């Protein structure tokens, strides 16, 4: 009996060992590192549950910024197309305070924030502008406010406070324009102070800048002065690439022609590359209004030009009101957008959204479509680290 049991045990042992070697050497994957995990892989027959990935909204890699004047009906803005809407303007006082033009403006600001945020569109408040609500240009008010450290700090505090109180996403500086090295130094100090406050609260800071190019000679203009290091403290630099009609004597055709814009883009990209600043901060501005050949006649909106005749979208000039108007039609706007993309600019800016045409001839929609078609790169889900 012992012999039989011993023989039987021997047979069972050989069979068992053979089975192990067979499993190792004749498995479909003959990788040695994987053979160590055969037993582990077979330990459980429980399959992990498949979980759906969370839906993440595709973030546009380019911005489309629209300024909106404070008296506009908030319902006319196409918030879905914009990444940023800049409500214009808060008016600086010489002692560093800010003024808004009445209760109706506060209502418009709050309605703009509510409507924009439904589309995840950011709302910023612009401070400055060309005209001041107390009369004259804003330059003297702004210059005085930022020239003194006390009033400069107060202005930064006031703007940060209203950004928090009104649930804004940031502030836009529109000082038109720093006209000396002292102005440039003070503007840089103010920008840094405001940037520090806003960025600490996860809010943005942008700045509107003069084109720096003469529309007639296409050479650099020296009477507007910036400190380039300042641009490291902002998120977007909105280039006002228009209003060239006064350069070298009035000429309505110099409002914002394409060659003028080419020189502007070349100037700013070269400046940023020289100072090792990212060109993605640069945003190319375009006008949504027309300039008359006769300066005694008022400007008209792009919307009014299209209402006169939708075919005007295909041109850059139109005869209306007894004069010729110069503007940027649909093809020129698309060409300018392509110019910005070709130079790695961060996107486009419109002055101003309330002047656009409604419906199929909307410039906002045309530019949006060009920018959207360019977004073929991988989606960016995280905010780029600021300089």
In which order are the strands placed within the sheet that holds 289-292? 300-301, 289-292, 323-326, 317-320
In a domain? residue 44: no
CATH number at residue 96: 3.20.20.80
In a domain? residue 345: yes
Q: What's the CA gap between 18 and 24, in Å, rounded?
A: 10
Kind of pairing, strands 300-301 and 122-129? unpaired
255: tokens are 């409002």
27: tokens are 């498995």
In a domain? residue 316: no
In a domain? residue 294: no
193: tokens are 């102070």
User: 213: which DSSP letter?
Assistant: B
In a domain? residue 293: no
- Alpha helices by DSSP H, listed for the chain, are 2-25, 32-35, 38-41, 103-117, 139-147, 149-165, 181-200, 258-274, 302-308, 330-342, 363-374
> In DSSP terms, which residues pair with 317 in a beta bridge?
326
In a domain? residue 136: yes
348: tokens are 């486009």
User: Token match 């004047």: residue?
Assistant: 69
- Per-residue pLDDT for the chain (387 aa), expressed as one digit of tens each? 333 434 334 333 434 334 433 333 333 333 333 333 323 333 334 444 544 444 444 445 899 999 999 999 999 999 999 999 999 999 999 999 999 999 999 999 999 999 999 999 999 999 999 999 999 999 999 999 999 999 999 999 999 999 999 999 999 999 999 999 999 999 999 999 999 999 999 999 999 999 999 999 999 999 999 999 999 999 999 999 999 999 999 999 999 999 999 999 999 999 999 999 999 999 999 999 999 999 999 999 999 999 999 999 999 999 999 999 999 999 999 999 999 999 999 999 999 999 999 999 999 999 999 999 987 654 433 333 444
Domain count, the chain: 1
In a domain? residue 311: no
Q: What's the CA gap between 328 and 336, in Å, rounded?
A: 10
Q: What's the CA gap between 163 and 381, in Å, rounded?
A: 24
In a domain? residue 16: no
**Domain ranges, residue 119:** 63-288+329-374
Q: What's the CA gap between 345 and 143, in Å, rounded?
A: 29
Degrees, nearest 5: CA angle 289-294-299 = 20
Q: What's the CA gap between 364 and 371, in Å, rounded?
A: 11
Task: Name the 3-class secondary structure at 33.
Answer: helix
Q: 0.85 exceeded by the pTM?
A: no
């Amino acid at each position: 009996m012992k012999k039989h049991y011993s023989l039987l045990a021997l047979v069972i042992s050989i069979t068992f060992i053979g089975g192990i070697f067979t499993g190792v050497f004749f498995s479909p994957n003959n990788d040695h590192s994987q053979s160590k995990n055969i037993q582990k892989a077979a330990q459980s027959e429980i399959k992990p549950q498949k979980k759906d990935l969370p839906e993440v909204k595709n973030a546009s890699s380019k911005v489309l910024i629209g300024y909106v004047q404070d008296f506009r009906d908030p319902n006319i803005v196409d918030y879905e197309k914009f990444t940023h809407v800049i409500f214009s303007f808060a008016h600086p006082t010489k002692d560093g305070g800010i003024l808004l033009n009445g209760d109706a403006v506060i209502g418009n600001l709050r309605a703009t924030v509510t409507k924009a945020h439904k589309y995840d569109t950011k709302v910023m408040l612009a401070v400055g502008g060309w005209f001041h609500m107390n009369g004259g240009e804003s330059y003297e008010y702004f210059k005085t406010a930022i020239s003194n450290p006390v009033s400069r700090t107060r202005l930064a505090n006031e703007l940060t406070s209203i950004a928090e109180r009104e649930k804004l996403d940031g502030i836009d500086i529109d000082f038109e324009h720093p006209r000396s090295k002292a102005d440039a130094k003070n503007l840089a100090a103010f920008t840094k102070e405001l940037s520090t406050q806003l960025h600490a609260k996860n809010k943005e800071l942008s700045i509107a800048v003069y084109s720096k190019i003469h529309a007639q000679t296409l050479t650099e203009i020296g009477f507007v002065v910036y400190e380039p290091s300042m641009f490291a403290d902002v998120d977007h630099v909105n280039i006002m690439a228009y209003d060239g009609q006064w350069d070298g004597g009035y000429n309505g055709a110099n409002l914002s022609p394409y060659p003028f814009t080419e020189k502007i883009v070349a100037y700013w990209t070269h400046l940023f590359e020289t100072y090792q600043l990212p060109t993605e901060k640069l945003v190319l501005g375009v006008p949504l209004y027309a300039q008359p050949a006769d300066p005694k006649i008022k400007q008209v909106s792009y919307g009014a030009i299209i209402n006169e005749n939708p075919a005007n979208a295909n041109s850059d000039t139109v005869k209306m009101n007894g004069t010729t108007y110069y503007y940027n039609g649909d093809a020129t706007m698309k060409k300018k957008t392509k110019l910005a993309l070709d130079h790695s600019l961060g996107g486009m800016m419109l002055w101003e959204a309330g002047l656009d045409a409604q419906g199929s001839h909307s410039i906002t929609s045309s530019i949006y479509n060009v920018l959207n078609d360019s977004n073929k790169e991988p989606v960016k889900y995280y905010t780029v680290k600021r300089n």
